[in-house]
Amino acid sequence: MIRYNAYPYEPSPVLPGIFAALIGLSLSIHVFQNFRYRYWSIMFFLVWGGAVFTSGWIMRALSAQDLTNLNLYIAQTVLVLAGPPIYAAAEYNILARLMHYLPMHAPLHPGRVFYLFIYIGAAVEALTAVGAIRISQNKPGSSQYTSGGRFISISLVLQAVVECFFMSIVAHLHIRCKRTKMLVPNVRSVFIMLYGTATLILLRCIFRAVESFGKYKDGCESINCGTVADNEWYLYTFEAAPMVIYTCWLNAIHPGRFLPAEHKRYLDTNGQTERLGPGWIDRRPAWITYIDLFDVAGAIWGRADGAKFWLRPEEWPLCKGSFALGTGSNRSESVETRKGHV
């Protein structure tokens, strides 16, 4: 096999263009859907991730045509690697919106879900940074270069652990909904989507970890070592294809069809009607809510009953339509509320 520059194989000049087109098409649909369902605040990261990932495959297509251009090679590598983690951030916002919709089952402040994973992600990325610095300052094959690669490999394993943690929170919410008979059709659809998309992200994390452990093994004096790094088809099978399925799945099961854009709108305990409540009530100082995300003190001493606003449904107006019954909509004419009971 002919080897050019940093590529340990002759890269396909066609496949990057195909995946760029598929991801770009999905991205365009997401933009339309976000305007239609007024879901930009929740799905912004999906659009951002799609733009980055599409750019990565465009850069790879150009790089495959100009194998002597190191700048194109670096650009495609960085953008392809950066896309999936940004995609994953969209999942955190969707889970947060699901918790706002089901506040009685939320294990933590829905508005702090994103920050929880940002904190964990920052710790993981710190290991990546340490590894990247060691790799950039040393030659392939040296002990420092190899140890830097191990830091990156460990960070990739931890990314997979974070995804498993995310899935455990989804499962916790799922179980509580099932026990209280609140696993209504729209909620069930969102759960299935979150399980499926998280599994795709997890598959990609495992692929990158395996690639990294092989790439930075002892005795390797090249920037590309190992079976995975040496064969292009792994990249398309375990990175490109899963991410195409991921973004298209979110086109098909866009949360704007199943969950309200208004974060104060929640599902009644009867599993049918929806009300416009006060939003999540946390009387602690704001800075504490960013530190004690799970309200450990509240779990020990007990939360004030006033925070459980869903136990006082008569105080909150009914919403027009219901996502649980398939009659709710995020279009402007369908978010009116009315007083009274059902």
pLDDT digits (tens, 9 = 90+) for 146-181: 888 888 888 889 989 999 999 999 999 999 999 999
Angle of the 15-37 helix axis to the 241-252 helix axis, nearest 10: 20
For 163, other C-beta atoms within 10 Å of its C-beta total 22
- Cα separation of the two ends of the chain: 71
With bands split at pLDDT 50, 70 and 90, how would you rate the model's confidence at 92?
A: very high
Residue 335 pLDDT > 50, yes or no? no
With bands split at pLDDT 50, 70 and 90, how would you rate the model's confidence at 184?
A: very high
DSSP string, 289-330: HHHSTT-HHHHHH---GGG-GGG-GGGSPEESS-TTTT----
pLDDT digits (tens, 9 = 90+) for 267-289: 999 999 999 999 887 766 766 76
Q: Where are the alpha helices (DSSP H) in the chain?
A: 15-37, 40-65, 70-101, 113-136, 143-179, 185-215, 232-235, 241-252, 286-291, 296-301
